[in-house]
A and B are shown apart, each in its own frame.
Chain A
Amino acid sequence: MTTSTVAGSRAKTPAGPRTGQRPQRTDRSAYWMLAPFVALYVLFVIGPTIYAFILSLFNGSLVRGGLGSFAGLSNYANALQSQDFWSSVWHTLLFTILTTPPLVVLAFFFALLADRATRGRWFFRLAFFAPYVLPSAVLSLIWIWIYTPDSGLASDFLGRIGVTAPGWLGDPNWAMISVAIATVWWTLGFNFVLYLAGLQDIPRELYEAAAIDGAGPIQQIRRITIPLLNRTTTLVAILQVIASLKIFDQIYLMTQGGPNYSTRPALEYIYDESFTNMRIGYGAAVSMLFFILILIASFVWLAIVRQQGRTA
């Protein structure tokens, strides 16, 4: 970028940090500018992570001070052998599987349509994005009401078209699907905006050139739009997956992990074991295992992004 042209004995400094630069006089003010953030960071991020690891090696209790008896790796062993643990991992994955494809494909579909709209784009953006700003408790209250048997909108609507409504949140076979539907309604707007912005970056000339060659709209989408939006799609999908792995709010609020724990995700399992069952040592071990899961997902993301960067 730009290099300094200030006259004087000061050495030229290129922009940005770079390894192997000439040794400079240490700027003391750097330390105290870093201090507030680093202090909070160590106190509330790094410290607790280390503490969580230590806790996981003991049988700590929420209501007793100290670490409790030493457990070694038995908390980890118990977790890995626990059906409740694996069920909760599966529920998290199921939620991810149920929500990611609609959130990617539908958002793309709507963005495609909106890109072709000549007027009123503000209306579509409003309709799809407004739910996104609602807090999860508001989302849950509204959808619990919609899913109420008999007097709820969902059952009523199905009844009108002659379909027997399922038990929604009270039916173990439908509870996760019900939560997934509410989630798609809630967060689609974000991906929609992202896709719309990406679509608008595609130069119209490409489409016009293709149209001259006789390509219809569907073909244009297939040959031009989708490939050019590859990066966006990957990013949207990865962000979606990583966010879904951390699911807690809606499920806790709408089903409390039920019926009979059939929707309980990993994070709620950690919450239940740590705070309802008061076993914080075990809970810490489970959260460490969960941490590893997120790490793996993040590394997969990095690998994909890096590979895309290479091929671009």
Chain B
Amino acid sequence: MAQVDHISSGTDADRTGLSRRRFLQASLLGAGGLSLAGCGTLEAGLAGTPVAPGTVTFWDLFGGGDGARMQQMLQGFTKQYPRLELQHITLSWGNPYYTKLALATIGDQPPDVGVSHASRLPTLHGADLLQELPAQALSKHGLTPDKFNPKALRACTFNGKLFGLPLDTHPFVLFYNTDLCKKAGLLDAQGNLAAMDSPEAFTDALVRGKEASGQWGAVASINNDTATCWRLFQSFYSQLGGQMLQQEGTQVVMDDAKALQVLTFLKDLSGTRKLMPQDVDYAGGIALFANGRSAFYLQGEWEITTFQLAKTPFSMTLFPNVFGGEGGYAVQADFHTLVVPAAGNDDARTDRALTLIRSLLDQSLTWAEGGHVPSWQPVAESSKYRELKPQSNYAAASDAAVIDPPGWYSGSGSNFEVIIGSAVGSVLAGQAEPEAAVRAMRSGLEQYADTPSPV
């Protein structure tokens, strides 16, 4: 390197140095201004102290329509409690959210309230990341057990202790285009959809739906959407009485025959009879149904707002009991629960957290308008909710709900769902045969089952 050149080119260095110095001075002044404003942040950054004591921090994973509705409810909270500061963050749905939550809790600065799918609670609880909700504090805020859907509340209970409070059940449902179904002769005198209680009835309905729409009978998103594929599969599979995992996920108890039966049925609908598209992603699926190019839409209830805004003539009902027969109805679902991540049993913090939780539960009707089945009984049993159509049509799903089996690698948006969902998706897309998909599911699951659990 020609160091001598640098040293001798004194004039150039001086010139640029001066202008650079002036810029640095200006930016330092600006930064000084910033830091005066952010003194609390600086102290927090250096000493790990909380930024603004008395703030309620809330993390969720609700994007899209759910996100907007949650914003509405949070505004209701701040209006009700003007003296409580609220800090709200929305993180990406699935693993990113749960990873961040775990990291924050390990890092001793978790949010005061978080959202968790009930299927993720066993892992979070097992990892000691959740704070127990003491009965006394709960009754102070009126959060007594009788006010909750029993099944949902059971999912939040571990060894008789409560580690979360259920907000809703969000099941897989059936959307149907009322105009197209009327045209196809699938509606009864009251305008309700006729029951489809067998594979033949379901297939027949789709055939007629396809004729009416001119394009598709039903659509379920496949591309880049293992969650939907999993839910569709699980609904049918559970109706057959099948289970996937036991012993905290260390044992794979998948019934190959039943799984094969479901996958063969799905292949028949999509690849053989071409009643369902084989190449469609999440947004594409919404577009097809919204524009009346499919008679049925198979998805969770949360897309109701999308279709209301698109002014699609539609209604919703329980996902059909194709394989369950009498008394065997089941449908894939999960519960959203509100949890208090562990951070050293601070009573004031617990109190703030429960205040927010109570306020959100009180606004369950707003949440129900977004399609969810409220777990908060005062709302679920109210006439206002029962009059909410089509949301109340599928309220019975919460009793038939089958959530993901417990396992450290299982839960909403987890690797478990990705393994099954990919295999199911490949059958729906016509890329794999049902037998191969069953083999893929089994080998994928067994690999995880054999891995020692980190919690």
Direct contact of A and B (CB under 8 A): yes
A contacts, CB < 8 Å to B: 59-64, 69, 78, 82, 149, 167, 170-172, 256, 258-261, 272, 275-280
Chain B 406-424 near chain A by CB (<8 Å), digits 1 or 0: 0011000001001000100
Closest CB-CB distance, B337 to chain A, in whole Å? 19
Whether a CB of chain A sits under 8 angstroms from the CB of B454 is yes
Chain B 436-455 near chain A by CB (<8 Å), digits 1 or 0: 00000000000100011011
Q: Given A63-B129, A69-B452, are A149 and B283 neighbors across the interface (CB < 8 Å)?
A: yes
Q: Which residues of B contact A167 (CB under 8 A)?
A: 223-224, 281
Whether a CB of chain A sits under 8 angstroms from the CB of B65 is no
* B99 contacts A276, C-beta separation under 8 Å: yes
Most chain B CB within 10 A, of A62, A82, A260, A261, is at A260
Which residues of B, 65-91, contact A by the 8 Å Cβ criterion?
A: none
* B98 contacts A278, C-beta separation under 8 Å: no
- Measured CB to CB, the nearest residue on chain B to A63 is B127
- Measured CB to CB, the nearest residue on chain B to A78 is B451
Q: Which residues of B contact A256 (CB under 8 A)?
A: 92, 95-96
* A261 contacts B418, C-beta separation under 8 Å: yes
* 22 A-B contacts (beta carbon < 8 Å): A61-B127, A61-B454, A64-B455, A69-B452, A167-B224, A170-B223, A170-B281, A171-B224, A256-B92, A256-B96, A258-B224, A259-B223, A260-B422, A261-B418, A272-B95, A276-B95, A277-B408, A277-B409, A277-B415, A277-B454, A278-B127, A280-B454
Q: Which 6 A-B pairs have the closest CB atoms?
A: A61-B454, A63-B127, A278-B454, A259-B224, A276-B99, A170-B224
Inter-chain CA distance A277–B95, complex, in Å, is 9
* A171 contacts B106, C-beta separation under 8 Å: no
Chain B 375-419 near chain A by CB (<8 Å), digits 1 or 0: 000000000000000000000000000000000110000010010
Inter-chain CA distance A279–B450, complex, in Å, is 14
- Measured CB to CB, the nearest residue on chain A to B127 is A63
Whether a CB of chain A sits under 8 angstroms from the CB of B299 is no
* A61 contacts B98, C-beta separation under 8 Å: no
Q: Given A62-B454, A63-B129, are A275 and B281 neighbors across the interface (CB < 8 Å)?
A: no
- Measured CB to CB, the nearest residue on chain A to B448 is A277
Inter-chain CA distance A258–B225, complex, in Å, is 10
* A260 contacts B96, C-beta separation under 8 Å: no
Query: Besides A59-B452, A278-B102, 4 other CB < 8 A contacts?
Result: A63-B454, A167-B224, A275-B99, A278-B454
Whether a CB of chain A sits under 8 angstroms from the CB of B103 is yes
Inter-chain CA distance A167–B129, complex, in Å, is 38
* A279 contacts B224, C-beta separation under 8 Å: no
Whether a CB of chain A sits under 8 angstroms from the CB of B351 is no
* A260 contacts B127, C-beta separation under 8 Å: no
B contacts, CB < 8 Å to A: 92, 95-96, 98-99, 102-103, 106, 127-129, 223-224, 226, 281, 283, 408-409, 415, 418, 422, 447, 451-452, 454-455
Closest CB-CB distance, A130 to chain B, in whole Å? 18
Q: Which residues of A contact B408 (CB under 8 A)?
A: 277-278
Q: Given A167-B281, A260-B224, are A276 and B98 neighbors across the interface (CB < 8 Å)?
A: yes
Q: Which residues of B contact A272 (CB under 8 A)?
A: 95
Closest CB-CB distance, A271 to chain B, in whole Å? 9
* A61 contacts B422, C-beta separation under 8 Å: no
Q: Which residues of B contact A279 (CB under 8 A)?
A: 451, 454
Inter-chain CA distance A86–B336, complex, in Å, is 36
Inter-chain CA distance A278–B126, complex, in Å, is 12
Q: Which residues of B contact A172 (CB under 8 A)?
A: 224
Closest CB-CB distance, B236 to chain A, in whole Å? 22
* A63 contacts B224, C-beta separation under 8 Å: no
Inter-chain CA distance A270–B418, complex, in Å, is 18
Inter-chain CA distance A278–B98, complex, in Å, is 11
Closest CB-CB distance, A137 to chain B, in whole Å? 13
* B226 contacts A260, C-beta separation under 8 Å: yes
Closest CB-CB distance, B139 to chain A, in whole Å? 31
Closest CB-CB distance, A65 to chain B, in whole Å? 11
- Measured CB to CB, the nearest residue on chain B to A172 is B224
Within 8 Å by CB of B454, from A64, A78, A149, lies A64
Inter-chain CA distance A172–B429, complex, in Å, is 14
Q: Which residues of B contact A280 (CB under 8 A)?
A: 454
Inter-chain CA distance A280–B103, complex, in Å, is 13
Q: Which residues of B contact A61 (CB under 8 A)?
A: 127, 454-455
Inter-chain CA distance A149–B96, complex, in Å, is 23
Inter-chain CA distance A38–B250, complex, in Å, is 46
Closest CB-CB distance, A93 to chain B, in whole Å? 23
* A62 contacts B106, C-beta separation under 8 Å: yes
Within 8 Å by CB of A63, from B92, B447, B452, B455, lies B455
* B409 contacts A260, C-beta separation under 8 Å: no
Closest CB-CB distance, A70 to chain B, in whole Å? 12
Q: Which residues of A contact B103 (CB under 8 A)?
A: 275
Q: Which residues of A contact B106 (CB under 8 A)?
A: 62-63
Q: Which residues of B contact A278 (CB under 8 A)?
A: 102, 127, 408, 454-455
Inter-chain CA distance A280–B452, complex, in Å, is 12
* B223 contacts A171, C-beta separation under 8 Å: yes
Inter-chain CA distance A82–B450, complex, in Å, is 13
